[in-house]
Amino acid sequence: MMTKAMADTILVNGDIVTMDPLLPRATALAVRDGKILAIGGDDDIADLKGPLTQVINAGGRMVLPGMQDTHIHLQDSGYQYSAMADLTGAVTHDALLDRLSDFAAGHDGEWVLGVAYDTGAFSEANLSRADLDRAVPDRPCHILSADLHSSCLNTAGCTALGLTRDTPDPDNGLFARDAKGEPTGMLHESAMDWAHNRMPPVTDDDYVNGIAEAQALCHRNGLTGVIDPRVTERHARVYQRMVKGGSLRLRVGGAGLVLPELSVEDNVAGLVSMRETYSGGLFHLHSAKFFLDGVFENRTAAMIDGYQDAAGGNYPLMFDPDHLNALCVAFDALRFQIHMHVIGDYAARAGLDGVEAALRANGAWPSLHQLTHVECVHPADIGRFAELGAVANMQCLWARNAPTVTKVAVPMTGADRSADIYPFGALIDAGATTTLSSDWGVSSLNPFEIMEVAMTRQKVGQPDDPPFHPEHRLTREDALKGYTVNAAAAAWRPETGRLSRHTAADLIVIDRDILTCDTYEIGATEVLLTLFAGTEVHRSERFNG
């Protein structure tokens, strides 16, 4: 006679939203060996309680699958926020420089580093090395913009790196210069890589410490799985080190960086080698990452009809279209997912063209290739997402009346096309599969704040804030799917994203019913408990279940 397996953990008295259409709601579940053993009513799992079983009483609160962020710079931003001055919210010169000088006074490193200066407040028009010299006159200083597409050096930093008027711009990058041709200290796109490669190296231990802090932040916000969308050999090496050491407690998918200056053969060889060498366990490199353009804020977004503001101009696609299509075909054939950064409508169109080329060459398979950001999409391309099976990976927190939108993107796109900026509702209406994500550390990784803005197109908790094109609002159900079942599918994790028998026991208990509460209160949701593979990784002081 077989002995019935007892549960390691039982959760009872919950309002469980399973995201499983066969059993949409439940009140209890049982966990064994990191997976859900049974789910249903409290009575259904009562006989799975053994003498060593932990019992969690959810107190009638809502229980959801663990959230998954399909575009988050976990390793880089984890390191940056653990080792640099946090410039978030410093929107005046005095505030920015005070933050830097205070940080410099408390840190005696060779360089003074900062992260997340506001691109709506600062650009090459009003930020230069002369400004940073006021805060840090005696050591090299380098600060990163919030969108991570620009940065600024002080004079000592320019000198340390050898940046002079004779330094040529790198491919897909720019050094801002004054009227005399002298570098102002502002760097855009690959010019930042030029600087990074000449700065003192960061150790793997530093990155591990940063990931540990970022991982804890994810757990506090209910995230149990992510995709890191810019992975190099160093990223893969550090993640796999944590897997082997048992310290990685997130499911991490990796998108290996594809470089436009390399041939198809060299790009493919590099990513295949990384996939074979480092993938396994909780880290899986499964995607190829393309940057097709930059951002509106530094005028590197690629537009079909150019910029419509007074300055005009445009920025070229970062990949030759034929090269891009050949790369897409090659990676698709080797069963890599494609993960493309697209901001301008030309970048979005080129990305869709690449997916279409792969589909025609290799046939259909459940790749769920992703176009991320999709800040501006031409109306003629909206329906192509569903037609091609491409995922729109959306950062909905940005889709509101913020300076980066109203003062930058709208004038550059043209006021008559402002409805094409963050057209998330139109993509869903046209049948596209969509995910919600944060792009942290560009902005908050809190999924509840992001879901609220997706539903309101307004600032978090501010019903009187004028909405930005409210016709593109998402429903609660679509927003929740974007962080659960859709995100799990896009991350190639079929064992996650829902709570049903044999799925991973990744789940959260939250302090309110986000399907019925006031929409403007969703962003204030607190995660009371997070289980990862059945193990508690976060518990709020407010939760005593």
Average confidence score pLDDT of the chain: 96
Q: How far apart (Å, rounded) are the C-alpha atoms in residues 97 and 101?
A: 6
Element (H, E) at 219: helix 204-220
**Strands of 433-436's sheet in order across:** 67-69, 223-231, 251-257, 283-291, 337-342, 370-373, 391-394, 433-436
Of 66-70, 124-128, 220-224, 255-259, which range is least confident?
Answer: 124-128
Q: How far apart (Å, rounded) are the C-alpha atoms in residues 244 and 107?
A: 32
Spacing of C-alpha 457 from chain mean position: 19
Quickly state the pLDDT bin for 237 (edges 50, 70, 90): very high
Q: What is the pLDDT of residue 280?
A: 86
User: What does DSSP say about strands 391-394 and 370-373: parallel, antiparallel, or unpaired?
Assistant: parallel
Cβ proximity of 530 and 66 under 8 Å: yes
The pair phi, psi for residue 28, each rounded to 5°, is: -150, 155
Q: What is the pLDDT of residue 147?
A: 87
Nearest to 417, CA basis, from 405, 428, 430, 402: 405
Angle of CA points 426, 429, 435, to nearest 5°: 80
The pair phi, psi for residue 503, each rounded to 5°, is: -80, 165
Residue 348: strand pairing partners: none
Q: What is the pLDDT of residue 120?
A: 86
CB neighbourhood size of 28 (10 A): 23
Answer whether residue 463 shows pLDDT above 50: yes
Comparing 510 with 118, the larger pLDDT belongs to 510
Mean pLDDT over residues 86-114, rounded?
Answer: 94
Nearest to 441, CA basis, from 147, 135, 192: 147
> Would you state the structure tokens that stand for residue 231, as one six-digit string?
């992975």
Q: What is the pLDDT of residue 3?
A: 59
Q: Is 66 helix (H, G, I), strand (E, B) or coil?
A: coil
Q: What is the pLDDT of residues 67-79, one digit of tens each?
A: 999 999 999 999 9
Mean pLDDT over residues 167-181, rounded?
Answer: 94
Task: Say whether the peptide bond before residue 441 is cis (omega within 30 degrees of 0).
Answer: yes
Q: What is the pLDDT of residue 417?
A: 96
Mean pLDDT over residues 19-38, rounded?
Answer: 98
Q: What is the pLDDT of residue 148?
A: 86
Element (H, E) at 266: helix 264-278
Q: Is 515 helix (H, G, I), strand (E, B) or coil?
A: coil
Cβ proximity of 228 and 255 under 8 Å: yes
- CA pseudo-torsion sign 17, 20, 21, 23: negative
Q: What is the pLDDT of residue 155?
A: 97
Q: Return the residue matching tokens 């799990």.
A: 488
3-state secondary structure 319-361: CCHHHHHHHHHHHHHCCCEEEEEECCHHHHHHHHHHHHHHHHH
Quickly state the pLDDT bin for 425 (edges 50, 70, 90): very high
Mean pLDDT over residues 436-446, rounded?
Answer: 96
Q: Is 414 helix (H, G, I), strand (E, B) or coil?
A: coil
pTM for the predicted model, two decimal places: 0.92
Q: What is the pLDDT of residue 1?
A: 41
Angle of CA points 217, 70, 240, to nearest 5°: 70
Q: What is the pLDDT of residues 8-22, one digit of tens each?
A: 999 999 999 999 999
The region, left, alpha or beta by phi > 0 then psi within -120 to 50, assigned to residue 303 is beta
Mean pLDDT over residues 26-37, rounded?
Answer: 98
The DSSP call for residue 402 is: -
Nearest to 233, CA basis, from 244, 221, 241, 225: 241
Q: How far apart (Å, rounded) are the C-alpha atoms in residues 36 and 503?
A: 6
Mean pLDDT over residues 358-381, rounded?
Answer: 98
